Amino acid sequence: MSGKFITLEGGEGVGKSTQARRLADALRARGLDVVLTREPGGSDGAEAIRGLLLEGEGDRWSMPSEALLFAAARADHLAKTIRPAVQAGKWVVCDRFLDSSRAYQGIAGGLGDDNVLRLHAIGSGGVLPDRTLVLDLADEEAAARAHARDGGSSDRIGGRDPDFHAEVVAAFREFARQDPDRVRLVDASGSAEQVTERLLGQLADLLP
């Protein structure tokens, strides 16, 4: 039996990491074998690249260099972690995947969506998740959550200016509009429990 590949996406401060853990636990409670992973990272090679991407000054990498590093990390992650797990019948829940590169480097970063998709085709064979859940939150609440989480500090990508992050959020919403079968917007307001239930609701057609 083939497993499923589920990704959580969204801008800064919407609760992706928390909800990825909660969703994985909820799926396990339903008897599923679940692998929880993240990007950049999720395999030895990708974790090595993670430090290069997230540490240092904001201008450490040009946007093309940043996109290439993400694509390289993703290729290793897919080959070493995601694909083997899905082929073994497991459900993979991943905190960020391709759509983050499309939003951050492709749209907000100006590299172009087509170029990011081209890199993904080369590095990862164009593989897409079975379902992408985009956590969506009002800008003010997301900013407040991000500040509370980071204490005013963040990694080199999270620390970019508000206009950049506004473009990221707009890009995710547009992806959901363009591809509603795969990409679903999920209201991230309210309690953690409420958000997890909304995520599960968007997976109802995939659950056994």
Q: How confident is the model over 41-82, as pLDDT tens digits?
A: 999 999 999 999 988 887 889 999 999 999 999 999 999 999
195: CATH:
3.40.50.300
Cα–Cα distance, 39 to 83 (Å, whole number): 15
CA angle 168, 171, 176 (to 5 degrees): 135
Report if residue 208 sits inside a domain. no
Q: What is the pLDDT of residue 96?
A: 98
| Tens-place pLDDT, residues 109-149 | 999 999 999 999 999 999 999 999 999 998 777 666 665 65
Q: Which residues contact 79 (CB under 8 A, 6 or more apart)?
A: 43
Nearest to 131 by CA among 23, 48, 56: 23
Nearest to 20 by CA among 41, 2, 1: 41
Report if residue 165 sits inside a domain. yes
Structure-token pair, residue 191: 């309690």
Report if residue 132 sits inside a domain. yes
Q: What is the pLDDT of residue 117?
A: 98
CA angle 169, 136, 114 (to 5 degrees): 40
CA angle 88, 89, 90 (to 5 degrees): 95
Report if residue 32 sits inside a domain. yes
Q: What is the pLDDT of residue 147?
A: 59
Q: Which residue range(s) make up the domain with 34?
A: 4-201
Report if residue 206 sits inside a domain. no
Backbone angles phi, psi at 133, to 5 degrees: -105, 115
Mean pLDDT, the chain, whole residue set: 93
Domain count, the chain: 1
On the question of a cis peptide bond just before residue 40, with omega within 30 degrees of 0, the verdict is yes
Predicted confidence band of residue 158 (pLDDT cuts 50, 70, 90): confident
Cα–Cα distance, 159 to 157 (Å, whole number): 5
